[in-house]
Amino acid sequence: MEARINLFGSTVATKVMKHVAAVDKVLRGTTVSTTTQELVKIRVSQINGCGFCTDMHTKEATLAGETPVRLHLIAVWREATVFTEAERAALELAEQGTRVADAAGGVPDEVWETAAKHYDEDELAALVCLISFMNSVNRMNLIAQNPAGDYQPGQFG
């Protein structure tokens, strides 16, 4: 499979990607753990069917010390015993924030309240931004049909 367009070779897309990288840098600088951020990135990418981002973030999570067992169980996190309550709250928020078209009222209050038990206001803001950011990046890759499998950890800085 080849990409429809080389987003990294386009002048316009290159300018946008600099802002994408800046957003990622801000989010990495928050107090939400790298592990939780990677779990959220992977789950959002799985839901959206973005192979490019799923490949990228499973490799980045592995580099950050994530275990194969936890990586294999992200898609079925509700049935898995390997995630903390805080991680579960972040994963639920990620799912609800990604599947907004499936829920007429958006993210349910109880999902938000559960997340708020584990994360402070800045961390919640970081999660909201991360979830929306990943949905946006997933869509860019899906539209461009960027293939999965060749990503090298740290490739984008």
Determine the Cα–Cα distance for residues 149 and 155; give it in Å rounded to an integer.
13
- Residue 54, CA distances (Å) to 19, 31, 44, 59, 109 in order: 21, 23, 9, 8, 28
Handedness of CA 98, 103, 106, 111 (dihedral sign): negative
Is the pLDDT higher at 66 or at 149?
A: 66
- Residue whose pair of structure tokens reads 């970081």 in the numeric block: 126
Determine the Cα–Cα distance for residues 36 and 12; give it in Å rounded to an integer.
31
Map out the domains of the chain with their CATH numbers. 11-144 (1.20.1290.10)
Predicted confidence (pLDDT) per residue in 7-54, tens digit: 878 899 889 988 988 999 999 999 999 999 999 999 999 999 999 999
Residues whose CB falls within 8 Å of the CB of residue 138, separated by 6 or more in sequence, listed in order: 44, 45, 48, 50, 53
**Please, what is the average pLDDT of the chain?**
94
26 three-state secondary structure? helix
Determine the Cα–Cα distance for residues 140 and 5; give it in Å rounded to an integer.
10
- What pLDDT, on a 0 to 100 scale, did the predictor assign at position 157? 66
Determine the Cα–Cα distance for residues 124 and 75; give it in Å rounded to an integer.
22
Examine the pLDDT at 71 and tell me if it is beyond 70. Answer: yes
Determine the Cα–Cα distance for residues 12 and 137; give it in Å rounded to an integer.
15
Average pLDDT rounded to a whole number, residues 66-86: 98
Contact 25, 112 (CB under 8 A): no
Give the model's confidence band at 77: pLDDT under 50 very low, under 70 low, under 90 confident, else very high. Answer: very high
